[in-house]
Structure 1
Amino acid sequence: MSAPALAGWEDLAFWQTGWPAVSAALAAEERQILPPAPQIFAALDHLRPEDVRVLILGQDPYPTPGHAHGHAFSVEPHVRPLPRSLSNIFKEMQGDLACCPATGDLRHWADQGVMLLNTALTVPAGEAGGHARLGWLPLVREVVARVSTRPTAFLLWGKTAQKLGADEIRPGEHLVIETAHPSPLSARRGFFGSRPFSRVNAWLAARGEAEIDWAGPLPSAPGEE
């Protein structure tokens, strides 16, 4: 597969040094790969580097077919029940802001400059972590370094994200919030009560920037478009 055309990211070294091997490994896979190929780079396709105001690092896409669509933690709007990590994110938002999105589709965050990026961009169906060592990490490192050339809010949930942030976030006027991962295995060890959403908005407001509407639009009533 040729390198994707991603505005603002096309000059990353990964496309010459890492993508050929990752692309070949994906082409040789006999297992179903998630998300679908057109959505693998959705997080990068959605935002140019200069438009990223907040970066949330995940781990790998949801391994359940029909859930992942290329934005970390986000699912297609019809998905019920929500994945447990996303459910915990919404619980924390309720405690922080007394609201949460109507569905698990978080693309309205990306519309406002929130990049939802996994540290592995693909996963075999039913095999969480199955592509953790496929070769995606160099790309993610380059993305974090590129984004951090401008003041950015980083939400680093869990040790993997925190280590990557420590290695790649360049010095600057950033907001860096490090907590436990929202997974059910760790959420009660520091994620709950961390109030990341209000803290990001306070930081943005102090910079004279528009706050993030984390809850997003209300669902349409029957008959409305």
Structure 2
Amino acid sequence: MTPRPWMPGDGAVADKRHAPATLRNRDAIAAVLADWLPVSGTVLEVASGSGEHVVHFAAAFPQLAWQPSDPDPAGLTSIAAYRAEAGLANIAPPVALDAASARWPLDSAAAILCINMVHISPWEATLGLFAGAARSLAPGAPLILYGPYIEPDVPTAESNLAFDANLRARDPAWGLRDTDTVKAAAATAGLAFAARRAMPANNLMLLLRRT
């Protein structure tokens, strides 16, 4: 039976959570990851959420080791359940990781992937993500972001404006971020903007590299 649809911020606890968007976007994301991920090493996924993305990517990229993480104990339970069901040797047990923390449970990674966190968390989490990536990545290694953003000089889709309003109603600290602000904060932390890909449903993928 498919678990009840869920999004970050929901308080209900279940062994397996289901984020419906993962089924719609995972193949499109994987197509970009094929161009941006390294050929080997450990990919740290920050804010793995339900755990549905990491099992899909681990199957698609078996040459890479995948380390899921989340700050929410219920999220860790869901990730562990999907991991056990998938039975893939290249997915490590999930670890508790708060992106805003100055201390992460991993010292290094070949790449970092963060899907749909930047707009569903306080800005401090994004700043922490950039600081943690700068500590964990070797020069040239990628931090890959996915989600909806506001781009200067590019009209924002009505659906994204409505989503932004909904997020801010749920939590005033949430909301779609301006890409120029994101790039500037990343640069301050030691991460250079390298590429942008337009994605379905008015989302973007942004590639940052450790300088």
Q: Fold-level match, TM-score > 0.5? A: no
Tell me the TM-score normalised to structure 2 length.
0.32
Structure 1 or 2: more strand by fraction = 2
Q: Which has the higher relative contact order, 1 or 2, with Cα contacts under 8 A spaced 6 or more apart?
A: 1
